[in-house]
Amino acid sequence: MLNDIRTIDSQELKFFLESIGEKSFRLEQIHEWIWKKQANSFEDMSNLSKNLRQKLSENFSIQKIRIKTQQKSSDGTIKYGFELSDGNIIEGVLIPTPKRMTACISSQVGCSLTCKFCATGYMKLKRNLLPHEIYEQVEIMKNQAIENYGIPLTNIVFMGMGEPLLNYKNVLSAIEKITSPKGMEMSAKRITVSTAGIAKMIKKLADDQVKFELALSLHAANDEKRNTIMPINETNSLVNLKEALLYFYQKTKNQITLEYIVFQDINDSLQDAKELYQFAKSFPCKINIIEYNPISEAQFVNTTIDKLEMFKKFLEDKRMIVNVRRSRGKDIDAACGQLAIKEK
């Protein structure tokens, strides 16, 4: 199979064009077609000569991902199964709410982390997604938002399958294209990258002066508890994570979001709330308390309403910004932590 032209380095493509006697400005035209205009084939590139289109098709391909499955929740959330050119499938979710239209996208096929409450964590990691595969998820859901709701896409969250910071280069390359005037022109402030917590890569984000928002899936502010539900903590302790997040804030001035699922009798006590406060007070942040979404592989249970209110009140009394996020798409296994491709 010919290489997808979107995987070809600009310099390499420029050399190719020069080798067949084409002017350098053709590079910009081709880039506009494959990123901004979302061309499905070289034949679509109407301002290129027939000869150039033929040469491109002989040397490269455009391997679009396609919607293989689609499920719509009673709350309007739509879950997509995207088939990649190699037959692998990833999932993405379009989430409509009164104030925003959000695309939840994946960064890997599967995941190498083994978070005990997340369905994707029970899959094997098959491979990283390439920049154009990440970009194209957004492209499809942007079009689907208009088609289904007549509302433009407003936000992107990297909260689908995979750990974004373990596919660092490709994720940042995709975001650069998404935010570029030559791509989708979306504001970086409307993009949130969520990580299970890899301290050295959070510091790298800071050094790279990223403009997008950062969220940490925390779920326990006690090393012993977090080790149990998120084994990544064994090599990325809370002390190291706190240091990395503070470094990130100092470099970028971006407020950080802490995501916290409150599990019954695991991390829902007043002591847990105190530990969360001690962790969170070190840098400007907001805390999103997330409803647990059941998966067949685990036996976790949501905390009670009373305990949730006590937990929330303690943090608010400490002047922390706290939001309780209700699940969307739970009835179609599209909610946070439920994305997984069932092995045949």
Max mean pLDDT range (72-81, 175-184, 298-307): 175-184
Q: Which residues are registered as beta bridge partners of 325?
A: 290
Which of 255, 189, 268 minimizes the C-alpha distance to 216? 255
In the chain, the N- to C-terminal Cα span, in Å, equals 26
Residue 32 CB neighbour total at 10 angstroms: 15
Question: How far is residue 105's CA from residue 137's CA, in Å, rounded to a whole number?
Answer: 7
CA-CA distance, 79 to 45, in Å (whole number)?
Answer: 31
Q: Given this model, what pLDDT does residue 338 score?
A: 47
Taken in order 39, 41, 42, 46, the sign of the CA dihedral is negative
Bridge-partner residues for 215, per DSSP? Answer: 194, 257
Distance between CA atoms of 299 and 227, rounded to whole angstroms? 17
- Domains in the chain, ordered, with CATH? 5-59 (1.10.150.530), 66-332 (3.20.20.70)
Paired tokens of 133: 């595969």
**DSSP code per residue over 78-134:** EEEEEEPTTS-EEEEEEEE-SS-EEEE--SEES-S---TT-GGGGSPP-EEPPHHHH
CA distances from 322 to 60, 222, 285, 316, 325 (A): 50, 19, 9, 7, 10
By the 8 A CB rule, do 312 and 289 touch?
yes
Choice between 107 and 340, residue whose per-residue pLDDT is larger: 107
Catalytic residue among 22, 91, 136, 163: 91
For 114-163, write each residue's pLDDT tens digit: 888 888 888 889 999 999 999 999 999 999 999 999 999 999 999 999 99
Region for residue 120 given its phi and psi (left: phi exceeds 0; alpha: psi -120 to 50; beta: otherwise) = alpha
pLDDT tens track for 64-107: 999 999 999 888 999 999 999 999 999 999 999 988 999 999 99
Contact 84, 90 (CB under 8 A): yes
Residue pair 292/249 in contact by the 8 Å Cβ criterion: no
- Phi and psi torsions of 106, nearest 5°: -100, 155
Q: Among 156, 215, 208, which residue's Cα sits nearest to residue 184?
A: 156
- pTM exceeding the 0.85 threshold for the entire prediction: yes
Contact 157, 104 (CB under 8 A): yes
What three-state secondary structure class fits 331? helix
pLDDT given at position 295: 73
In this predicted structure, what is the pLDDT of residue 292?
84
Q: Is 91 a catalytic residue?
A: yes
Q: How confident is the model at residue 343 (pLDDT cuts 50, 70, 90)?
A: very low
pLDDT of residue 344: 39
Catalytic residue among 104, 115, 285, 336, which? 336
Whether 297 is a known active-site residue: answer no
